Amino acid sequence: MKSSSKWVKTLLLLFLLVLILTGGLMVFIDPYFHYHKPLSYFSYTLDNARYQNDGIVKHFDYDALITGSSMTECFKTSELDALFGTNSIKVPYSGGSYKEVGDNLAAAIKSQPDLKLVVRGLDCNRFFNEKDDVDYTDYPTYLYDDNILNDVSYLYNKEVLLTAVQNVIGLNRSGKITMSFDDYCNWNDHFTYGKQVVDDYYKRETLTKAETQIPITKEDYDRMDANIEQNVLKVVRENPQIDFYLYFPPYSIYYMDYWDQLGELERQLLAEKHIIELLLPYENVHLYSFYLDHDVVNNLENYRDVAHHKGDVNSQILVWMKEGHGLLTVDNYQEYCDTVYEYYMNFNYDALFR
């Protein structure tokens, strides 16, 4: 009996030791930056936005950041830094809602008092989202809160332990360097672009042309107000020391056709005008739109589908921001909205498909 009891105690001690060593190794290497910034003697891989972005904004050193949906993934922080004299990071969320991006931005501001500039995309296809919409249900919430007890989901995560930690050690041994934010989430080189690709993606023939445009409603305005207030304006208002470079990502002319086919184009254009009017009163907001740059929007060689443009357009957007091209102001926004409305509401979309 004594021998059995001793054996059980030994097994328990060994199990406890393994837990301590495994947890300690995870805290030490910390591939998702949950506890600390990257250690100088390891090479880390940046490859998992929803698991790494929270740690990046909380523990990295930076004074500027780029954020938004997949439309912002092909930005290069080196180009932003060269243009604006910053030391930036990139924390995009593929398919990210305004809330998801806004929550991460709030965490960045709380953690980094030196933050002075933010570049953020405001996707037009999310204008009518509910303020708390988050598309992803299988979410690593244990990485986002301050509850140390649920960190067991990170410390003893098989995937993290066998893949991420192994990758860190493997990269270090191979002599590879840490992936840069230019490359982080950047899909530019993984796709082909052009009219044939977009035509294959966009099945216009499956749509039934709406007889009339769907009117925008009070409920639409209320939903936009709540979404923008909670997820965009609150952080703008509370941080006048930060310059927010906000922009509407330029979807292709095919996306405009899609909205027109559904009878939602007018509703979208009126929504954009309303959001412009919500944002312009703030002096620290620099708001841009590029829907009058028809050499971008109408040129399908820039796109891999109806929305996503190549990285060259992201690079051009940063230059335009620096130059003030596409900047909307209290004095010019009405003319911009009228011109955009006239152009896209009267565009001959059928001619694109002949």
- Residue 302 inside a domain? The answer is yes
- Residue 229 inside a domain? The answer is yes
What is the domain extent for residue 174? Answer: 31-353
- Residue 25 inside a domain? The answer is no
DSSP 8-state symbol, 116: -
Half-sphere exposure (CA, 13 Å, Cβ side) for 23? 12
SS3 200: helix
H or E element, residue 77: helix 77-84
Number of separate helices (H) and strands (E) present in the chain: 15, 6
Answer yes or no: is pLDDT of 93 > 90.
yes
User: How far, in Å, CA of 294 to CA of 284, rounded?
Assistant: 28
- Residue 2 inside a domain? The answer is no
User: How far, in Å, CA of 115 to CA of 26, rounded?
Assistant: 29
- Each residue's pLDDT tens digit, 44-91: 888 899 999 999 999 999 999 999 999 999 999 999 999 999 999 999
Q: What is the mean pLDDT of the chain?
A: 93
- Each residue's pLDDT tens digit, 100-124: 999 999 999 999 999 999 999 999 9
SS3 244: strand
User: How far, in Å, CA of 237 to CA of 45, rounded?
Assistant: 35
DSSP 8-state symbol, 88: E
For residue 208, give the CATH number of its domain: 3.40.50.1110
Distance between first and last Cα of the chain: 88
- Residue 224 inside a domain? The answer is yes
- Residue 136 inside a domain? The answer is yes
> Band of the pLDDT at 20, cuts 50, 70, 90?
confident
- Each residue's pLDDT tens digit, 123-157: 999 999 999 998 777 788 888 888 888 888 898 88
Answer yes or no: is pLDDT of 2 > 60.
no
> Band of the pLDDT at 3, cuts 50, 70, 90?
low
Strands 243-248 and 285-289: parallel
Report yes or no: 46 and 52 within 8 Å, Cβ to Cβ: yes
Alpha helices in 162-210 (DSSP H): 165-174, 195-201
**Burial per residue of 211-243, b for 16 or more beta-carbon CB atoms within 10 angstroms, e otherwise:** eebeebeeebeebbeebbebbbbebbeebeebb
Record the tokens describing residue 200, joined without a space. 């294959």
E-strand ranges in the chain read 64-67, 88-90, 117-121, 243-248, 285-289, 327-328
Domain count, the chain: 1
- Each residue's pLDDT tens digit, 231-243: 999 999 999 999 9
Least confident span in 91-100, 149-158, 246-255, 296-305: 149-158
Count other Cβ atoms within 10 Å, centred on residue 324: 10
- Residue 87 inside a domain? The answer is yes
Q: Which residues pair with 10 in a beta bridge?
A: none
User: How far, in Å, CA of 60 to CA of 38, rounded?
Assistant: 8
- Residue 230 inside a domain? The answer is yes
User: How far, in Å, CA of 134 to CA of 284, rounded?
Assistant: 27
Least confident span in 8-22, 223-237, 300-314: 8-22
